[in-house]
Structure formats: structure tokens, C-alpha cells
Amino acid sequence: MNEQMTRNIGIMAHIDAGKTTTTERILFYTGENHRIGEVDNGEATMDFLEQEQDRGITIASAATTCYWKEHQINIIDTPGHVDFTAEVERSLRVLDGAVMVVCAVGGVEPQTETVWRQADTYKVPRIAFINKMDRLGANFEEAVNELKVKLGANPIPLFLPVGSESQFSGIINLLTKKYLVFAAEDQGKTVVEQEIPEEMQATTELWYDRLIDSVSSFSDEITELYFDGEPIGIDLIKKTLKKATIERLALPIFVGSSLKDIGVQSLLDGIVDYLPSPSEVPPIIGMHVKTEKQVEVPYSKDKPPLALIFKIQVDREAGPMNFVRVYNGTIRKGTSLMNISKKKRERVNRIIRMHANRQEEISELEAGDIGVIIGFKEGRTGDTVGSEGAQVLLEQMHFPIPVISIAIEPNTLSDGDKLRGALSVLAQEDPTFTYKDDEETGQLVISGMGELHLDVLVTRLTKEMKIQARVGKPQVTYRESVTQSASGSESFSKMLAGKEHAAGLGITVKPRPSGSGNHYICSAKVRGMADEYYEAIEQGITNALKGGIQFGYEVCDVEVEVTSITFQELTASTFAFEACAATCFDKVARLANPVLMEPVMKLTVIVPSQYVGEAISSITSRQGLVHSIESRPTSEQIHAQAPLAQLFGYSTALRSATQGRGTFSMEFDHYEQKMR
């Protein structure tokens, strides 16, 4: 495989921007599909989970490989719904480039901004496709302007739409100055080049001048040619624009309508022309396990293998399928690898290349490629796998905390073991899903990112895995924290099997800023004390943080410092230090004015202008705070914050207040002290 001919891309967008439809067209034109599947009638190839077809949304990011003009394109289709943010995060982590699909009617929507920020975090170069030009209310210039204003991007249109709404007939390529018409009889496969319609010629020249003006800011050569009145070569423009795109200084814009088969081949050309190959992106940063220093991992096929597991899908027959992105070297079938995150050896039994819902067995995966490894037992999302001799740990993925929980009970005792087995499979696949036994009620509690997230998971349990279970009402996942600093000490002594186990500790507990997480420091050091005792103290504190202070909820945003250690070699034991640390934390945390923390959500409500008053009162009546209102041609966007506990059933209330025309999306923002 020639690395210059590979593209690892993701397709990302707000829900309903036409992301999956665009992917379906790409698979059709690249010959992966012989007929086009539609989301609207539940036949999309990439949405092969039964629920994705039922709900018409993408839930799991599917990986597929296709070929265009001798280039191998690995596509990862990502969900647009905010409850599945983790899927988007982990996909972006392994991509070299992304296609941002923007609806020509809705423009830049809340979730577009979220995925844009995520792509910025992972420094992913992007191109944009303005879709749905055939829809009522489509406005190309407005969509381009919103990309600039709302996302701070530098949009550079390379194509213009001819007409819009029902009059949308084709696109103009600004570089070749040709009008492209896509034949309807073969679903747009045949592209006919025509002269630009007369009424569009002046507009084309105007946009071409803007294009040259934008590109010339990246190249002195283009500037000189322009001022000398010399012709500017298309190859020079493409080369300059590709460099600017990789450096994230430019956003090439394509336009069309996936549903009407217009403009998707031009987008495919753009993926090949402007998005980087694995060898053209900056080296990924890792940490050398032995030296604990940051190291760059430059792309190379000749170095020892190094890959990142970015997704797990459990197959009934094959077991866990580990989706990996290879950064270095070559992974071969039948060899052993080291799971560097877990410090365990794993065997590569099979390697598969995915074509949406079809599989192709291959013998090796080279640097820059994406594929599936079968045979790993311990692999989890975010784990680094590689050679035992050259251990580099790639940066961990960070997943948001689950904020909503429900109790689930099996109908019969025999279903109990099946239920636990199924939950462990779901937790393996989805890092934002957790389950635990509630010690007070004895119930099994599952937690996730939102009502839709849990609804999807419960439906998978009952429909896909055929488990009969009763489900409770959604509950908010609270946290505990402290509001002031406190110090204290504790000694522990217990006789076990005729031997005394003793330990003594002093600790200080302090509050930290909201959202900054917990921090553990051990400033006390004792000569001759083995590492295992320090580890036992840390383990005791970690367990105590999970067990809560007053109400049994996990503790967040606190700093715990161990300030003194009483150590006697004859009576010391890891058990004593772990128990002492937990008891000491409980005692000191109770002195630090503990409080209950509740999740606060960021809310975006979109309503027609005449319902703004009703929408605002629906937010304020739920203890929400409105931050800003943004006007659109046909609607208003209200940005607000509200406690999650107040938002259960909000969709029904909003629909009835706006005669079914209001929509909203919410995502976790921060934890805040719960008012009694």
C-alpha cells in the first residue's frame, strides 16, 4: 500500500445534515455498493444496527474502506446526536482529515459547533460540503458566512450552486470554470461538463477572484502571477490550498445535494486533492513507558508496530472486534503484540478490513491503515498496542462522565447472569456506559450520557440480546464535593491471625475549581518504606473517593494530600495502609463542609420566532438560565443552562408549548452545588 494514496477521513455533522446519505453516495460512486440505500426508508449501509434503521440516526461509528481514482479511502461515519459524543471523540482521535457536512437550510447548528471544537482539539484538517441545496430555504452564501462567523473558519468555496431549492440543477467548478451537470438516469454517475450559463458568468468571475485572493495569502508565487496578469495553474492553486488545509488555515467548500446525486463525485475529488495522507500529518505525541518522557511518533513502516484501539464491537461469533489505527510499523496475522496500556501480551488471530457490513480477511495492516483485529481479550477503547521492545503509550482518550442513571432488574433469576454478561459487553463497547450494584437498594444501576443514550442501550438489551428486564425511571447521577479545606489524622490497628496490622496517616482535603477533576498528592515520604505501601495508600483514597462522603455518590473536584505517614516495619501491611487511608479520608472530608453536586446541562432550543416567549418560560420554569438568543431567518436559537433533574420530560413540554415545532439539544456542561 502506498501511503500517499491513503486517506483516513471522518464524516461529521449536526444530526439530520445528511451525513449518512452523503456516505451512502460515496459508497455507491466508489463501487462499494451496487445500489443506494436510503436513511429515510431504513436501508442505509452504514446504519446497519437495527435501531439505527428504526430511528433514522447514526449511533455507532462504522468504519468502511472504498477506492477512488487509485486512492484507498478509509471512512469513519460518526453520529451527529449529542448523546453519542464519545463515538465522535474516538473517531476524530484516529482521523487524518474530516468532511464537515453542513445543511444549506439549517447552516451551522449547535452540534456542528460541538464537533468542530472536538476536531480543533485533535487538530484535524477539514473540508466542508454544503448539502441539501435542493431543499426549501437553501441559502449557499448564508451557510458559507455562518462557517466564517460561528466557527471562525476561513471558508474558500471551490464550487458554486446553479439555482437553489427546486431550481437547483448543478454546480460550477471555479477552478476549471465549467458547469457540471449530473445525469439523473444513472443516479449521477455520469458528469457532463457544459459552458457556464450566461446569467452566472459575472458571478463566477467574482467568486473566482475571491478564491484567488484567499489562496494568494498563502503563496507569494500566486500573488506575483496575479499582479502580472499571468495565468495561474490549477495544480499550483491545489497544492497551495492543500498545504493551507493541512495547517488548518483554510476550509475548502464543496456544494451539492446528496439526495439528488449532485456534487458527491466532486467532493470525492476534494478528499483526494486537499485532505492529507498519513505521512503528511504532524507526528502523533506519545509517552515513552521507561523514561516517562513525551516523544514524537513520526510515520514509518519500518519501525516496530504501534497502534491505537479506537473502538470495540463485540461479535457473537468472533468475540471482541478491536478497531485499530496503525501509526507505525506493520501488524501481521498470527503474531503477538503487547497491550502497552494493560501491560499484557495479546495475540493477533485474524485481521479484517471492513466494508460497512461486509468483511474482507487480510494478512497485515501497515502504518497509516485502519482495520479490525480479532483475538485480543483485554483490549479496551483508548488502549495502545505495540511491540514489547519499544513501548510508547499514545495519549489516552478522555470521555465525559455519565450523568443519568436508571435501575434495571431481570424478570427471572436465570436472566440475571445473562443481563450481567450483556451489560459487560455494552460497557466494553461504549466507554461512556457504566453499571454497578447500588449497595443501599441492592438494585443494578446503569448510567449513560442522556435519555436517548440509555433508551438505545436498553432497546439493544431487550431486542438484540433478547433479555427480559424491567427498567426504572431515569435518575440523575449526583456527585459530592467539599467547599472548604480541612486536615486530620487517623491511626489503624487490627489483630489478624495473631499478627498486628498497623498504620497511621495525616491528610488534607481541599476543594478544586469546578470541572478540574480530583488530584492526589503524597508529600510525606518515609525512609525505607516500600512502594507497595504508597500504592496501597493511593488505592485506599481512590476507593474512598468512589464511595462518597455522606450520600454514597462519587466525589469530584477535590485535592487530597497525604501530609504524614506513621510507619513501623514490624506491624506495617498494605491492608492496614489501604484501610487507614479510606477511614482518614472519610473523617477529614466530613469536616470540609461536604455538599451534593448536580449535573447542569447546556441547552440549545430552536423555535419559530412566534414561540420565543413560550420557549423561554419553559426554560425558566425549570430553574434554567437563558444566556443568549440568536436570530435566524426562520427561527430563533435560545442558548441556556439548566439542572438535568429539571429536564426530564422537557421534550414533551416544549412540543406542546410550540405546537410540535420546537426542537432542542443538550449536553453536559458542569457540576454545580445542588440547592436544597
Which pLDDT does position 84 carry in this prediction? 61
Which pLDDT does position 565 carry in this prediction? 94
Q: Beta strands 519-522 and 294-297: pairing type?
A: unpaired
More confident residue, 155 or 356: 155
Which pLDDT does position 239 carry in this prediction? 94
More confident residue, 19 or 183: 183
Record the cell numbers describing residue 475, joined without a space.
435518575
Share of the chain above pLDDT 70, in %: 91
Average pLDDT over residues 60-84: 71
The pLDDT tens digits for 459-474 are 888 877 788 888 888 7
Is domain 3-280 classified as CATH 3.40.50.300? Answer: yes
More confident residue, 83 or 103: 103
Q: Are 331 and 348 in contact (CB under 8 A)?
A: yes
Q: Are 586 and 594 in contact (CB under 8 A)?
A: no
More confident residue, 452 or 626: 626
Which pLDDT does position 23 carry in this prediction? 80
- Distance (Å, whole) CA 63 – CA 94: 12
Full-model pTM: 0.71
CATH 3.30.70.870, the chain: domain bounds: 404-473
For the domain made up of 480-592, give the CATH fold.
Answer: Ribosomal Protein S5; domain 2 (3.30.230)
**How far, CA to CA in Å, does 224 sit from each of 205, 218, 220, 383, 565?**
19, 12, 6, 50, 72
609 three-class SS: helix
Which pLDDT does position 49 carry in this prediction? 40
Residue 318: pLDDT above 90? no
267 three-class SS: helix
Average pLDDT over residues 71-80: 76
- Distance (Å, whole) CA 62 – CA 10: 10
Average pLDDT over residues 383-400: 79
Record the cell numbers describing residue 570, joined without a space.
514490624
Which pLDDT does position 356 carry in this prediction? 56
Contacts of 652 by beta carbon, 8 Å cutoff, 6+ apart: none
CATH 3.30.70.240, the chain: domain bounds: 598-673
- Phi then psi for residue 597, to 5 deg, are -115, 140
- Distance (Å, whole) CA 126 – CA 99: 6
Which pLDDT does position 55 carry in this prediction? 38
- Of 105-109, 110-114, 564-568, the least confident: 110-114
CATH 2.40.30.10, the chain: domain bounds: 284-394
Nearest to 472 by CA among 415, 423, 406, 420: 406
**How far, CA to CA in Å, does 141 sit from each of 154, 180, 216?**
14, 19, 22
pLDDT-derived band of residue 440, with 50, 70 and 90 as boundaries? low
Q: Are 323 and 93 in contact (CB under 8 A)?
A: no
386 three-class SS: strand
Contacts of 33 by beta carbon, 8 Å cutoff, 6+ apart: 24, 27, 45, 356
More confident residue, 630 or 54: 630
Residue 77: pLDDT above 70? no
**Residue 15 DSSP class:** T
More confident residue, 498 or 252: 252
pLDDT-derived band of residue 43, with 50, 70 and 90 as boundaries? very low
- Of 6-15, 78-87, 649-658, the least confident: 78-87
- Distance (Å, whole) CA 193 – CA 608: 41
Which pLDDT does position 86 carry in this prediction? 64
**Residue 281 DSSP class:** S
Average pLDDT over residues 521-537: 90
Residue 236 exposed, middle or buried by CB count within 10 Å (0-12, 13-18, 19+) = middle
Which pLDDT does position 87 carry in this prediction? 65
Q: Are 340 and 357 in contact (CB under 8 A)?
A: no
- Of 33-42, 61-70, 389-398, 465-474, the least confident: 33-42
* Continuous H helices in 255-331: 264-274
Report the residue count for the chain.
Answer: 676
Which pLDDT does position 595 carry in this prediction? 94
CATH 3.40.50.300, the chain: domain bounds: 3-280
Which pLDDT does position 48 carry in this prediction? 38
Which pLDDT does position 154 carry in this prediction? 94
CA atoms within 13 A on the CB side of 614: 18
Q: How far apart are the first and last CA of the chain?
A: 62
**Residue 415 DSSP class:** H
pLDDT-derived band of residue 584, with 50, 70 and 90 as boundaries? very high
Residue 662 exposed, middle or buried by CB count within 10 Å (0-12, 13-18, 19+) = buried
More confident residue, 296 or 621: 621
Average pLDDT over residues 427-433: 80
- Phi then psi for residue 409, to 5 deg, are -130, 135
For cell 495519549, name the residue. 395
* Continuous H helices in 42-84: 50-55
Which pLDDT does position 131 carry in this prediction? 92
- Distance (Å, whole) CA 560 – CA 488: 12
Residue 528: pLDDT above 90? no
More confident residue, 399 or 440: 399
Q: Which of 66-75, 384-393, 569-578 has the highest mean pLDDT?
A: 569-578
- Distance (Å, whole) CA 555 – CA 594: 10
Q: What is the mean pLDDT of the chain?
A: 84
Which pLDDT does position 397 carry in this prediction? 67
Residue 415: CB atoms within 10 Å: 16
- Phi then psi for residue 653, to 5 deg, are -65, -40
Contacts of 426 by beta carbon, 8 Å cutoff, 6+ apart: 433, 457, 460, 461
For the domain made up of 284-394, give the CATH fold.
Answer: Elongation Factor Tu (Ef-tu); domain 3 (2.40.30)
**Residue 350 DSSP class:** E
Contacts of 324 by beta carbon, 8 Å cutoff, 6+ apart: 307, 308, 309, 310, 331, 365, 370, 371, 372, 373, 385
* Continuous H helices in 430-530: 451-459
pLDDT-derived band of residue 512, with 50, 70 and 90 as boundaries? very high
The full 3-state SS of 137-192, as one line of letters, equals CCCHHHHHHHHHHHHCCCEEECEEEECCHHHCCEEEECCCCEEEEECCCCCCCCEE
More confident residue, 59 or 344: 344
Residue 318: CB atoms within 10 Å: 15
Which pLDDT does position 126 carry in this prediction? 94
- Distance (Å, whole) CA 153 – CA 124: 13
CATH 3.30.230.10, the chain: domain bounds: 480-592
CATH number, domain 404-473: 3.30.70.870
For the domain made up of 598-673, give the CATH fold.
Answer: Alpha-Beta Plaits (3.30.70)
